[in-house]
């Protein structure tokens, strides 16, 4: 499995329009953060996207995305779905399934009514809109060799979804008599992981290696987002072999976020076998 972080920033993106803070004016390329999104490729050639923010067109060009077998939405805030129109060239030949919970799909259909609205019983044809196939996801979705499982989480008072993508480990790492899986867990914009979701994730993770990318906004508390400390502490309960912070505000530079992770590791005596870092746009991870 190949994972590319397309964006790692908050709803404003970084630099923030009109802001002259030290992070927004930083020359460190790691401090340039587009809206949060990830792209995943399976070993069988499967290609999926989690969230499509306002910079999706630029992100797709940079990551050389030429096909999508499915798009998985965490929730319907603008920084997570307002790039859906840029799926037009990728959906020219066939509609792309769009998965989310009931509320997200409903809001998406309202926000992009021109895509789904029918006139006289027909939907207007033409090249001016993407071909999208909404799907309410309450059960795991199979795309080739990938199993994509919705994980209910909280974003303030909102019920949103994280996504776990699992794939059978290669033969050289998983003998034929085992069912070892490798998985990637994406939990952005999270303020709480319900106990039922933790049980869901840990209950089926025997023999599973897992990368976790989790939203941690900043060091200071926020009503609808984990802090760095909260995000890393929560991720430590999810049997991860690597933890990465995403959806990072302009309150902190990449260097400062990296230093926080280093201090957290020492404070909590984290095993040297577990990587803990902030992500950066364009980061590529291999499972």
Whole-model pTM? 0.94
pLDDT for the residue 180: 76
pLDDT for the residue 117: 83
pLDDT exceeds 70 at position 82: yes
How many other β-carbons are positioned within 10 Å of the β-carbon of residue 238? 20
Is the peptide bond between 195 and the residue preceding it cis, with omega within 30 degrees of 0?
Answer: no
Please report how many Cα atoms fall inside a 13 Å half-sphere around the Cα of residue 77, on the Cβ side.
17
Per-residue pLDDT tens digits for 226-263: 999 999 999 999 989 999 999 999 999 999 999 999 99
Exposed/middle/buried for residue 206 (C-beta within 10 Å: 0-12, 13-18, 19+): exposed
**Lowest-confidence segment of 87-91, 120-124, 193-197 by average pLDDT:** 120-124
How many other β-carbons are positioned within 10 Å of the β-carbon of residue 214? 28
pLDDT exceeds 80 at position 80: yes
71 vs 169: which has the higher pLDDT:
71
Alpha carbon 268 to chain centroid, angstroms: 26
pLDDT for the residue 88: 96
pLDDT for the residue 286: 94
Alpha carbon 202 to chain centroid, angstroms: 19
What residue ranges do the domains of the chain occupy?
Answer: 2-286
CB 169 within 8 A of CB 180: yes
Closest CA to 109 of 136, 90, 148, 86: 136
CB contact burial 2-28 (16+ within 10 A = b; e otherwise): ebbbbbbbbbbbbbbeeeeeebbebee
CA distances from 142 to 60, 205, 210, 257 (A): 23, 18, 18, 35
pLDDT for the residue 179: 55
For strands 275-278 and 242-246, give the pairing. parallel
Question: Which residues share a beta bridge with 70?
Answer: 48
pLDDT exceeds 90 at position 84: yes
Mean pLDDT of 5-13: 97
Per-residue pLDDT tens digits for 14-70: 999 999 999 999 999 999 999 999 999 999 999 999 999 999 999 999 999 999 999
pLDDT for the residue 29: 98
Assigned CATH topology for domain 2-286 = Metallo-beta-lactamase; Chain A (3.60.15)
C-alpha span between 30 and 32 (Å, rounded): 5
pLDDT exceeds 80 at position 207: no
CB 250 within 8 A of CB 39: no
Q: pLDDT band for position 218 (50/70/90)?
A: very high
Q: pLDDT band for position 203 (50/70/90)?
A: confident
pLDDT exceeds 90 at position 209: no
pLDDT exceeds 50 at position 177: no
DSSP-assigned letters across all residues of 144-200: TTEEEEEEEEEETTEEEEEEEEEEEPPTTTS-TT---EEEEEEE-S-SB--HHHHHH
pLDDT exceeds 80 at position 136: yes
Q: Which residues contact 153 (CB under 8 A, 6 or more apart)?
A: 160, 161, 162, 187, 190, 192, 193, 194, 197
Q: Which residues contact 60 (CB under 8 A, 6 or more apart)?
A: 6, 86, 90
CA distances from 231 to 160, 193, 217, 260, 261 (A): 16, 10, 9, 12, 11
Q: Which residues contact 136 (CB under 8 A, 6 or more apart)?
A: 99, 100, 101, 102, 105
**Lowest-confidence segment of 78-82, 158-162, 269-273 by average pLDDT:** 269-273
Mean pLDDT of 200-204: 84
C-alpha span between 285 and 5 (Å, rounded): 8
φ, ψ for residue 285 (rounded to 5)?
A: -120, 145
């Amino acid at each position: 499995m190949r994972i590319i972080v397309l964006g790692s920033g908050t709803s404003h993106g970084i630099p923030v329009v009109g802001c002259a803070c030290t992070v927004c004016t930083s020359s460190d390329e790691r401090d340039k953060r587009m809206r949060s999104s990830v792209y995943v490729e399976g070993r069988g050639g499967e290609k999926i996207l989690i969230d499509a923010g306002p910079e999706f067109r630029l992100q797709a060009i940079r990551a050389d995305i030429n096909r999508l077998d499915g798009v998985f939405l965490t929730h319907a805030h603008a920084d997570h779905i307002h790039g859906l129109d840029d799926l037009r060239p990728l959906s020219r030949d066939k509609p792309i399934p769009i998965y989310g919970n009931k509320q997200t799909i409903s809001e998406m259909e309202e926000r992009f009514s021109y895509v789904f609205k029918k006139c006289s019983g027909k939907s207007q044809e033409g090249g001016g809109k993407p071909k999208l196939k909404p799907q309410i996801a309450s059960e795991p979705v199979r795309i080739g060799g990938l199993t994509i499982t919705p994980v209910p989480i909280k974003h303030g008072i909102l019920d949103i979804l994280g996504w776990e993508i699992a794939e059978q480990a290669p033969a050289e790492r998983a003998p034929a008599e085992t069912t070892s899986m490798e998985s990637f867990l994406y939990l952005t914009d999270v303020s709480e992981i319900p106990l039922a979701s933790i049980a869901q994730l840990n209950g089926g993770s025997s023999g599973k290696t897992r990368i976790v990318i989790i939203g941690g906004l900043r060091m200071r508390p926020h009503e609808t987002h984990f802090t760095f400390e909260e995000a890393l502490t929560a991720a430590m309960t999810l049997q991860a072999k690597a933890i990465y912070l995403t959806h990072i505000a302009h309150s902190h530079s990449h260097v400062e976020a990296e230093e926080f992770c280093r201090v957290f590791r020492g404070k909590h005596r984290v095993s040297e076998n577990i990587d803990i870092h902030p992500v950066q746009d364009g980061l590529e991870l291999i499972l």
